[in-house]
Amino acid sequence: MDNETNICEQHNILTVSNFHLNLTWTDEYADDTSLEFQSLAHRFEAKIYQYYVVKKGITDIKGLRITKMTEGSVILDIAMSLRVNASQPEVFEELQKVNQDKLGEAYAAFGLIPQTSIVMADKKAVQVLSPMTISTLIGSVVAVIALMVGAFAVWKCSQKRKNEAGKEKKETNINSKEINEVVANNFIQME
């Protein structure tokens, strides 16, 4: 959401995660269509914009929208609309610098828990994978490989059986011809 034009824009969006707020979690926050989510999001969008843009002067942020809330106190994912020529990594670096320099100030402004490390959403997957997630991922890859090896083995066995069946049929045909020739020769000799 661009605060100047009140229009949602889809270009140059910086998504930032891991804004831990000092609030008590309620399950309604998980549903972004719930009244509780909408009310809290609206209230904190204004506070966060006021703090980072107006007070701290990060003017490359044109507006922001809270897109997701997860449990662990209340953890926000925020999509920030940036000016056309703004660099996402540079804006993210400014956000981090403000948070590291004045953590108590961010807490007073909108309840950001001190020592919170925000992350860019596209880096989140790399930085926040738990050992359980990694082992699940590895297990899935191993299972897929095992299935592929099994399917190849079944195919290879079926090909071998087809080849062997073809050889047996050919040998049977040759044996039938030999038998017919022997019978015919014997029949001719009997006459």
In which residue are the tokens 């083995």 written? 153
Cβ count within 10 A of residue 95: 22
pTM of structure: 0.56
Most confident of 5-9, 112-116, 151-155, 165-169: 151-155
Rounded distance between C-alpha atoms, residue 177 and residue 88, angstroms: 82
Contact between residue 58 and residue 96 where contact means Cβ atoms under 8 Å apart: no
The Cα–Cα gap between 155 and 163 comes to: 12
The 10s digit of each residue's pLDDT in 63-89 is: 999 999 999 889 889 999 998 888 899
| Residue reference for tokens 């804004």 | 19
DSSP string of 173-185?
HHHHHHHHHHHHH
CA angle 3, 9, 13 (to 5 degrees): 95
* Helices within the chain (DSSP H only): 35-49, 88-101, 103-110, 121-127, 131-190
